[in-house]
Amino acid sequence: MGDVAKDLTSGTIGGAAQLIVGHPFDTIKVKLQSQPAPLPGQPPKYAGAMDAVKQTLAAEGPRGLYKGMGAPLATVAAFNAVLFTVRGQMEALLRSEPGATLTVGQQVICGAGAGVAVSFLACPTELIKCRLQAQSVLADSASAGVLVKYGGPMDVARHVLKSEGGVRALFKGMVPTLAREVPGNAVVFGVYEALKQYMAGGPDTSKLGRGSFIVAGGLAGAAFWLTVYPTDVIKSVIQVDDYKNPKYTGSINAFRRIFASEGLKGLYKGFGPAMARSVPANAACFLAYEVTRSSLG
């Protein structure tokens, strides 16, 4: 089996593990991000992450925590295949000789390049996912207007294609998606490699055990959100914004309006669930990737 096929297979399995472990946390993150700022004197719909969990379970049951999972699950193979395959091919280009270990800086470059590639898959997938996850909180907003009710991922895609401008509308939020994926993946792969080399005591990380992969992967995932979280908030609010009566004219406008009305904390809504998700989800992803890649030779 060639390197591309190995990266494709390993990345797919790693992505599936990441999605299964992390999706409930992601749902709560998007709900907190997309809830409108409360009117003066009124409390927000969700007092915090645990309140969002309780309200979601009460209103929708456990299935509510997995809303929107169909879109990323359907594309997880392509997404992670692109991410790990592009990263693998960039590694091959940067190696001085076959099998040579890359430096942390070179892994940062590989991660950034992979981030560019996956953004074109992440944007429409995230748009569909966020629309489904945010339905319940937007339905209770007085500013939501006539809210579209979606029956599932394909229903979201059909509505966007038919009523919001065709294929181009599926890429709403592409700028903040790129601004999230490029630096985010540069940090992820750089931190992951740095931690592996630190735990191995040098550049040869071939003898590391599964526990090391879990620790390095979990901390690398946390580093992703510490680096790009406000960008993710901007992406989410733009992607769930009303097409006919938009609240935001673009990424910069969304940043300014959120910061003006809610301050810095408005750019970190849902940060707790995102961090709680990132550690176990990315630990599962990198562990599954490394174990599968090793088993393939």
Residue 252, both tokens: 């910069």
Q: Taking a C-beta distance cutoff of 8 angstroms, is the pair 272, 31 a contact?
A: no
Q: Give which of 224, 246, 248 is closest to 234, Cα–Cα.
A: 248
Q: Return the residue matching tokens 């297979």.
A: 9
From CA 289, how far away is CA 39, in angstroms rounded? Answer: 46
Per-position pLDDT tens, the chain of length 297: 678 888 888 888 888 888 888 888 888 887 887 787 777 888 888 888 889 889 989 988 988 888 877 766 767 767 877 898 899 999 999 998 887 889 999 999 999 999 999 999 999 999 998 888 887 666 555 444 445 678 888 899 999 999 998 999 999 999 999 999 999 999 999 999 999 999 999 988 889 999 999 999 999 999 999 999 999 999 999 999 988 888 999 999 999 999 999 999 999 988 988 888 889 999 999 999 999 988 987
Q: Taking a C-beta distance cutoff of 8 angstroms, is the pair 237, 258 a contact?
A: yes
CATH number for the domain that contains residue 182: 1.50.40.10
What contacts 25, CB < 8 A, 6 or more positions away? 273, 274, 276, 277, 281
Residue 284's domain comprises 1-296
Q: How many domains is the chain built from?
A: 1
Q: Taking a C-beta distance cutoff of 8 angstroms, is the pair 129, 72 a contact?
A: yes
